């Protein structure tokens, strides 16, 4: 029991740090403190997030595999469809960004003027506002369905809660950056899963 509580604690710490370090006020603080070296902030942010994620996964792999149900090829198939379908969505969504800027290998100064950004709504963004999160959720729940273990259920629930809370804060930043354009886009396009009946 304690091992699972510690797993939840690790995911809580990961989600909190990930959100706090992505906050605009925190970014502005570090930008003022480190000056020109701020260009490495996103790269360090991504490396720290990756390192912490690897540590959590390594810990999870040490936990016992306590399954809710036994292996069945049909359940295994559903899990794989969700898992690999989600992974494909993430890869397609990421390919729509400048990968060097996305990873932090290239630096692009932040535009702090409210409503001055250019909103991108092409590709998967025509159907959902957060396709990377959509793919992530499909992937982690696919992992749970396939293994059906307590450790994977905890991971899936923690990441789902984090994504849902994280979207609230992320969209505040998007509204600040893109203004009315994003508000109109948000009214028109679903958050995570397409609503094909909207507007019919």
Query: Global pTM?
Result: 0.86
Q: How far apart are CA 193 and CA 176, in angstroms?
A: 24
Assess whether pLDDT exceeds 60 at residue 62: yes
Domain presence at residue 197: no
Domain presence at residue 193: no
Domain presence at residue 198: no
Domain presence at residue 195: no
Domain presence at residue 16: yes
Residue 59: which CATH number?
1.20.120
| Greatest mean pLDDT range, 16-20, 56-60, 97-101, 117-121 | 56-60
What confidence category does residue 142 fall into, taking pLDDT thresholds of 50, 70 and 90?
Answer: very high
Q: How many domains does the chain have?
A: 1
Query: What does 33-87 look like in DSSP terms, one character per residue?
Result: HHGGGGGGHHHHHHHHHHHHHHHHHHHHHHS---BSS---HHHHHHHHHHHHHHH
Domain presence at residue 63: yes
**Structural domain harbouring 64:** 2-188
Domain presence at residue 199: no
Domain presence at residue 111: yes
């Amino acid at each position: 029991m304690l091992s699972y509580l510690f797993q939840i604690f690790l995911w809580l710490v990961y989600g909190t740090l990930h959100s706090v370090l992505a906050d605009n006020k925190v970014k502005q603080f570090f930008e003022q403190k480190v000056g020109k070296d701020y260009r490495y902030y996103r790269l360090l942010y991504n490396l720290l997030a990756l390192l912490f994620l690897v540590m959590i996964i390594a810990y999870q792999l040490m936990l016992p595999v306590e399954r809710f149900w036994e292996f069945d090829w049909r359940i295994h198939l559903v899990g794989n469809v969700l898992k690999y379908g989600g992974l494909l969505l993430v890869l397609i969504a990421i390919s729509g960004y400048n990968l060097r800027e996305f990873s932090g290998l290239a630096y692009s100064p932040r535009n702090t003027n409210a409503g001055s950004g250019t909103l991108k709504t092409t590709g998967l963004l025509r159907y959902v506002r957060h396709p990377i999160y959509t793919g992530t959720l499909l992937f982690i729940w696919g992992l749970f369905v396939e293994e059906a273990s307590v450790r994977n259920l905890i991971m899936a629930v923690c990441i789902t809660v984090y994504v849902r809370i994280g979207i609230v804060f992320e969209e505040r930043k998007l509204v600040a950056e893109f203004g009315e354009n994003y508000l109109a886009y948000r009214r028109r396009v679903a958050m995570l899963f397409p609503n094909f009946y909207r507007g019919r």
